[in-house]
Structure 1
Amino acid sequence: MRAHVELIHEDDYIFHTGELPYGEGKILERRLSTDEEDGSSSLSLHAGADWGRSAGIVHADTEFYVVEGSMLYGGQELGAGGYVQVPKGTAMDWLKIREGSRVLHWREYGDCGFDPFTNLGEASAAASPESAEGVTVMDAGKMEWTEAPSVGPLTPLYIKLLHRDPKTGFYTRLIRAPKGWTDHRLAHHPCYEEFYTLAGKMAYNFGDIDEGTYCFRPARVKHGHFVAETEIDWILRSDGELTNWYTTDEWVKYGGHAENYDEHDGHIHPILSSLPVRSRSRGEWSGDGM
């Protein structure tokens, strides 16, 4: 399991050489969070020069999202908001990230392993027959925002769904909260939740959220007390259906009234969390929300 990361700003993290086998060019990565048990990672890639690699087969569910600049996937150029998802064991086409670009990159249920091939046809012929789901390529800039269901947050949120696994419910989506969006309750979920902030600012019990802040929150960890000081956008991922279980009238440190869940059900009640990983620019934290 990955550590509870809340909050860090990516600028507080050091650069490593990008762990993207068989690539050519210059790519650096900041490791936002990693799972040393299976290799799952959330990374921020920075291209110091053009970087690219051939078609091949990925060893993990793989995603790329362009924050700034552009990348090419199989000849299709994707600017800011461009998104590619490749299921584990599936063939992906050649990829190029242009110099100066910033790209978020995720690997899930596997490590950075990659089997290179001369072209997509050869890679597809060698790919796992179980990898029936194809590659998803999206341009979020051409998508319309849709209002999220009203169940849960007290005021409307807006979404752009980039990908959802039909079997597991694992999804990646963009979330927009309007200025003034607020929720005073504490929530926890049956799945993990991670986000990277693309724009805007929000006051939050774990610290200020602004562009470049990141969170990885394991399942059933409580969080809350949001106030959007400006319109704010995130890219958000969860490894299952995100159900909100709310706690109100919370005690000073832990506990409270279980508003819409059974506090005696060992499968859904919130768990005690150790102190989260936080980066220096987020400042001191009072423990509020725990």
Structure 2
Amino acid sequence: MTGSTPDQASMSRPRVEFLRLDGMSLTPSAAPAFGHGLRAAVLSAQPGDPGARSLLVRAEPYWCSHDSGVLENDLEILLLEGDLRLGDCEFARGSYAFLPRGLAVAGAETRRGFAALWMGEGRAGLSQDSNPAVAYVEERRTGPLDVNAQAWQPVPDFPGRTSEEAGSGLKVRRLRSDPDTGAYTLMTRQAPGWCDPRLESHETWEELVLLQGDYLMGETGMITSGSYIFRPGEKPHGPQATRGGCVWFCRGEKEIDFRFTEPEWSAPRCREYLAQPAPEPQPQFWGNWS
């Protein structure tokens, strides 16, 4: 985990399976560490202070902050609705950015308000130190970019799972990959009727937000758009299926690997789920992401 001490990096966050983001209680919070007036809910957090944490953050129309400084730790943002200017970074709905520690930021504002996934490695605030302990590395920065303008690609081979195994119904948008650690941020799209009857586990932790559609997530059952999961490494999960298709936002701390098991109950569970009619098209929590 970039931006964390060795002791912090060895500790994962507790499992969160699952939260409904439309049911979260947002409270006035200094956790985003930018000015005043933001409301936030903690989705998951690493033990210790300051530990890595993920927030759902909201701002009202015409919110602004005149604070300036440099980012104390790496910060990832996915704007779910509205608009945001953070220093020289302009976000619209569907914008994603990975902003490295040491980035200079001069003020922030919104005209229409915003809702965002706000994912920081430690306290993702501003330091007034003109000579920060960690120099800014421009090559680590990604975006802001419009995720919906990125092409869907076939899933590549990963350790333990080939592209052929994943099937043609699974596509990916890779938003970011760290060349040193393998840490990744990406989106996946599963076509209607896609399924994998196996249980899978990974060495990396996974952070997942279902942006669109329906999904059978193993013993958890059916979830729909607006669902959040944080799963530490080595936690088997599955089987997985979607009737109407879906889009996920996904993060991990290292390149993902796959290990599979297939208990007797998992394939019948998928068949039972897929045998039901596809859900009627519904307004998605944050619109269309496909």
Decide: shared fold, TM above 0.5. Answer: yes
Q: What residue is the counterpart of 1:285 in the other structure?
A: none
Q: What residue is the counterpart of 1:120 in the other structure?
A: none
Q: What residue is the counterpart of 2:152 in the other structure?
A: 145
Tell whether 2:110 aligns with 1:104. Answer: no
Q: What residue is the counterpart of 1:115 in the other structure?
A: 127
**Distance of 1:192 and 1:127 partners within structure 2:** 28
Q: What residue is the counterpart of 1:257 in the other structure?
A: none
Structure 2 regions of 5+ residues with no counterpart?
Answer: 1-11, 157-162, 267-290
**Cα displacement (A) at 1:10:** 1.6
Give the secondary structure class of the aligned counterpart of 1:66: strand
**Distance of 2:263 and 2:70 partners within structure 1:** 50
Alignment of structure 1 residues 1-290 onto 2, 5 Å:
1-18=12-29, 19-24=31-36, 26-37=37-48, 38-53=50-65, 54-75=67-88, 77-92=90-105, 94-108=107-121, 110-116=122-128, 126=132, 128-129=134-135, 131=137, 133-137=139-143, 138-149=145-156, 150=163, 152-205=165-218, 206-249=220-263
Q: 2:260 is matched by which residue type in structure 1?
A: Y
**Distance of 2:124 and 2:88 partners within structure 1:** 23
Q: Return closer, same or farther for 1:169/1:151 CA change in 2, 3 Å cut-off.
A: farther
Structure 1 regions of 5+ residues with no counterpart?
Answer: 118-122, 253-290
Q: Return closer, same or farther for 1:96/1:84 CA change in 2, 3 Å cut-off.
A: farther
Q: 1:45 is matched by which residue type in structure 2?
A: V
**Distance of 1:251 and 1:234 partners within structure 2:** 25
**Distance of 2:18 and 2:108 partners within structure 1:** 31
**Cα displacement (A) at 1:126:** 5.0
Q: 2:59 is matched by which residue type in structure 1?
A: A
**Cα displacement (A) at 1:97:** 3.7
**Distance of 1:75 and 1:92 partners within structure 2:** 7
Bigger share in helix: 2
**Distance of 1:236 and 1:96 partners within structure 2:** 27
Question: How many residues are aligned here?
Answer: 244
Tell me if the contact between 2:70 and 2:105 (Cα under 8 Å) persists in the aligned partners.
yes
Q: What root-mean-square deviation, in Å, do the aligned CA atoms of Structure 1 and Structure 2 show?
A: 2.4
Q: Share of identical aligned residues, percent?
A: 29
Q: 2:150 is matched by which residue type in structure 1?
A: M
Q: Return closer, same or farther for 1:180/1:116 CA change in 2, 3 Å cut-off.
A: farther
**Cα displacement (A) at 1:46:** 1.3
**Distance of 1:2 and 1:246 partners within structure 2:** 23
Q: Return closer, same or farther for 1:113/1:46 CA change in 2, 3 Å cut-off.
A: closer
TM score, norm. by length of structure 1: 0.76
Tell me if the contact between 2:202 and 2:233 (Cα under 8 Å) persists in the aligned partners.
yes
TM score, norm. by length of structure 2: 0.76
User: Mean Cα displacement is larger for which, 11-20 or 89-98?
Assistant: 89-98
Give the secondary structure class of the aligned counterpart of 1:190: coil
